[in-house]
A and B are shown apart, each in its own frame.
Chain A
Amino acid sequence: MSPLRRRILFGAPLAVAVAGGAGFYTILRRMQSDQYDPHALPSPLIGKRPPSFALPGINGAAGFSNADLLAPAKPMLVNWFASWCAPCQEEAQMLQTLASQGVTIWGIAYEDQPPDLAAYLQKYGNPYARIATDVSGLTAINWGVYGVPETYFIDKAGIVRLRYAGALTDEVVQTRLKPLFEQYS
């Protein structure tokens, strides 16, 4: 091996480390400016409209379909929930607060039975302007729902801008949802 090649070879580990370090530095900076969240669950829906679906409401009431989400009057939330899900019960209060502040929230009940659902809404309140029921769970798969509760922010053009997996908290509302409402109103 020529001396030059030997030198280049011995410098290779350094080059790898420098490249890695630069990458980590960039990632850290993006984390600090909230452009990157390593814990975010990737959602294929971001930047797109929800896939087509048409779901019934509770006990024969009208549900809604993707057509109803095409052009909302103002930015809104679609909240996936279920009566059997404990974090959803914790989240209920936060949804009530948001609804009382004038935020439009539509709910989709995931793999739930109408009687259970009615009891749940009775007990924890109903913040939803409209409710659809996805009894089979097929629509959830098309949306890429990871688990309930899950909240989608939809802008006036009907495009999904944010997916948040997990119960909404004060912090999430302040840091994630509020800027979006300001941006897209």
Chain B
Amino acid sequence: MIPELGHFCLAMAVAIACAQGVVGIAGPTLKDPRALAAAPLLTLLHFTAISLSFLALAWAGVVSDFTVENIADFSSAQTPLLYRITGIWGNHDGSILLWCLILSLCGTAVALGGRQLPASLRARVLGVLGLVSCGFLLFTLAVSNPFTRIWPPPLDGAGMNPILQDPGLAFHPPVLYTGYVGFSVAFAFAIAALIEGRIDAAWGRWVRPWALLSWCFLTAGITLGSWWSYYTLGWGGYWFWDPVENAALLPWLTGTALLHCAIVVEKRESLKAWTVLLAIATFSLSLSGTFLVRSGILNSVHSFAAAPDQGLFILVLLAITIGGSLLLFAFRAPVLAGSGIYAPISRESALILNNIFLCAIAAVVFTGTLYPPFVDLLFGIQLSVGAPFFNQTVLPLAGPIILAMGVGPMLRWKRADLLPVLQRLWLAGAVAVLVLIILTATKHLIAALGLAGGAWVVCSALTDLAERTRLFRVPLGDALGRFFGLPRAAIGAALGHIGFGVSVIGIAAMTLAVQKVVVLKPGQSTMLGGYSWMLDDIHDAPGPDYTQRVADITLSDDGKAFMVLHPTRRFFTSQHVITSDAAIRTNGFQDIYADFADEEDGGAELRLNRHPGAPEIWFGGLIMALGGAFSLSDRRLRVGAPFRKRVPGGATV
């Protein structure tokens, strides 16, 4: 009964979303005040319908209603409650419903939070969101229905993949999807602006918080995903340049570029068409990232097996959404002329430089990801593009960004002098050079360059804050007072840069990691990274729905034992799956990582790692996301426009 209601709500949501799209887009043209007022209302209804539908599926999961195929396939009566709920988005059909739910949530946020928007712009934005949502809901309903029933129901479900039974993975998809889908709002604003044919500073100010919010979620989502693969897969790696990872990285890169060039639109009314294109590109890449990896075209370790007819449906949807918006862009964008004029050395130019390099990295990653299927299509050559390609192409492009990141925020708008800025950054430069010299002596050039670059970014962002607060030039109390008086956006931006620098430091330090795969018998020991690793014992231990074998490893430094690790191998008997649970000890600057990979002839095959800087990679990601969140709390963004009266598009209809 409940699943049928959920199914019905899903069908209703399609109809309402369609109405929202038509009314929202046609309303401002018809100049009908009832149509303008109806768009937000339809958005709320649309959200309600999808929420009910999602709740119905969640209910079926909680009570283990195995007449629902989705539940029977991916859950079982023994699955803990938390994973019965999170399992809903752990599979293809359910995750798309979650995607639609978040999309409608974004629409609702615009409908409720965008009261100061001109009514026509708001209606158009909601209309675009409605049309996008309608397409993907139709996809859910037609070929990927999570409410498909089976009769007679099985006595018990097939159970959840044990690898997915992990809190990190349980919350990774919603965060990542919010990041992906959030860019739909920036996209809708861009399309609405193209329809209206004008963009001004106020538009930039409205778009930026949305872009920032989704960027925060995307950053957090990627960080969570990377951390999860690090601690759960037992490979000790944090980024594999897998197509699915690249699919998340691409919108992050263009989204970061969007974030920066929307500032130029807001402050200087320049780069308008470029900003619109970035908004379209970011959401298009998000869409492709979510759906293309499910079509099975890209070879990935993430298995989201989808039938080819779903692939075709997705392709048609993507063609309409992406092709339609780019067509609109081709016809309407040439009328968007920038008005700001600026010198080659200025904040604007620095932001353009940032955009060029971020987009260049995105282009390289994009090419590398799509090269294998396309080269096979065009030339019949089968090949794969792996980490070496990405490392060699992305690192040189990241270099200029890292250099420019320190200088850019201190340049003035319109026209700036480079020399005084560089003089103020002497300390940061000195720290970077010092790090470079010290580490070059250890003959790790990449690590030295990376650590120096990270130190440069962190120190220059700190210098920027110190300059703004006039630290060390005025009494400390005054400086603190100035600090709290700074716009939160400025502190957020500095935090964002610091976070990036910290991540760079972590990634660079990880190149110094040492690892070893050994087979040890109890009592034997091996040396790695200056420590002695001794396998004391291998023994059985009980577990809730698995049995496990535990290896006890003692680490000692100069004969003094200082750490005991217990990596385990878990045997999930019902699913015949073996997972390994790596033992990771961190002191905040270094991880000691041991994985119990296999057991043979009384010996344990162990993967032992010493990872300097590993925690910094994720700390950096979190600092970046926090910086974004802090910037969002800026009063200027929350309250909206000081130009409230001078809104575009003839607000009064």
Residues of A within 8 A of B (CB): 3, 6-7, 10-11, 13-14, 17-18, 20-21, 23-28, 30-32, 36, 38-40, 42
Contact = CB atoms under 8 A, between A and B. Distances in A.
Interface stretch (B79-87, B207-215, B338-346, B375-383): B375-383
A28 B299 contact: no
Given A7-B330, A13-B277, A28 B383 contact: no
Interface in B185-241: none
A171 to B, nearest CB: 13
Contacts of B428: none
B162 interface: no
A39 B295 CA distance: 12
A21 B370 CA distance: 12
B356 to A, nearest CB: 16
A13 B297 contact: no
Nearest to B384: A42
Contacts of B292: 24
A119 to B, nearest CB: 14
Contact of B318 (A3, A21, A36): A21
A17 B377 contact: no
Contact of A39 (B273, B299, B333): B299
B327 interface: yes
B59 interface: no
Interface stretch (B10-18, B145-153, B308-316, B562-570): B308-316
A28 B311 contact: yes
Nearest to B326: A14
B374 interface: yes
B297 A17 contact: no
B295 A28 contact: yes
- Say whether chain B's binding surface is mostly helix, strand, loop, or mixed: helix
A42 B382 contact: yes
A183 to B, nearest CB: 20
Given A31-B311, A38-B297, A26 B377 contact: yes
A14 B329 contact: yes
Contacts of B296: 31, 38
Contacts of A3: 334
Interface in B366-402: 370, 372-374, 376-377, 382-384
B300 to A, nearest CB: 9
Contacts of B315: 21, 24-25, 28
B382 A27 contact: no
B446 interface: no
B559 to A, nearest CB: 36
A6 B333 CA distance: 10
Interface of B: 273, 277, 280-281, 284, 292, 295-299, 308, 311-312, 315, 318-319, 322-323, 326-327, 329-330, 333-334, 370, 372-374, 376-377, 382-384
Contacts of A21: 315, 318-319, 322-323
Q: Which 4 A-B pairs have the closest CB atoms?
A: A42-B382, A14-B326, A11-B330, A38-B299
Contact of B308 (A6, A11, A32): A32
A91 to B, nearest CB: 16
A24 B322 CA distance: 14
21 contacts: A3-B334, A7-B334, A10-B330, A13-B277, A13-B280, A13-B330, A14-B326, A14-B330, A17-B322, A21-B315, A21-B323, A23-B374, A23-B377, A24-B315, A25-B315, A26-B377, A36-B373, A38-B298, A38-B299, A38-B372, A42-B384
Nearest to B373: A27
Nearest to A19: B374
A61 B361 CA distance: 58
B417 to A, nearest CB: 29
Interface centre among A24, A30, A39, A42, by most chain B C-beta atoms within 10 angstroms, is A24
B297 A27 contact: yes
Contacts of B377: 23, 26-27, 30, 36
A36 B280 CA distance: 31
B495 to A, nearest CB: 33
Contacts of A28: 295, 297, 308, 311-312, 315
A84 B327 CA distance: 58
A40 B382 contact: yes
Contacts of A20: 370
A14 B327 contact: yes
A10 B329 contact: yes
Contact of A10 (B299, B334, B370, B372): B334
A17 B330 contact: no
B455 to A, nearest CB: 38
B383 A6 contact: no
Contact of B373 (A7, A17, A25, A38): A38
A7 B333 CA distance: 9
A27 B273 CA distance: 32
B323 A13 contact: no
Contact of A31 (B284, B308, B330, B384): B308
B324 to A, nearest CB: 10
Contacts of A7: 330, 334
B329 to A, nearest CB: 6
B405 to A, nearest CB: 27
Contacts of A32: 308
A24 B308 contact: no
B380 to A, nearest CB: 10
Given A10-B330, A42-B382, 11 more contacts: A3-B334, A6-B334, A7-B334, A11-B330, A13-B281, A14-B329, A20-B370, A21-B319, A30-B377, A38-B297, A38-B372
Nearest to A42: B382
Q: Which of B295, B382, B384 has the most CB of A within 10 A?
A: B382
Contacts of B308: 28, 31-32
Contacts of A13: 277, 280-281, 326, 329-330
Nearest to A8: B330
Contacts of A38: 296-299, 372-373
Contacts of B384: 42
B64 to A, nearest CB: 30
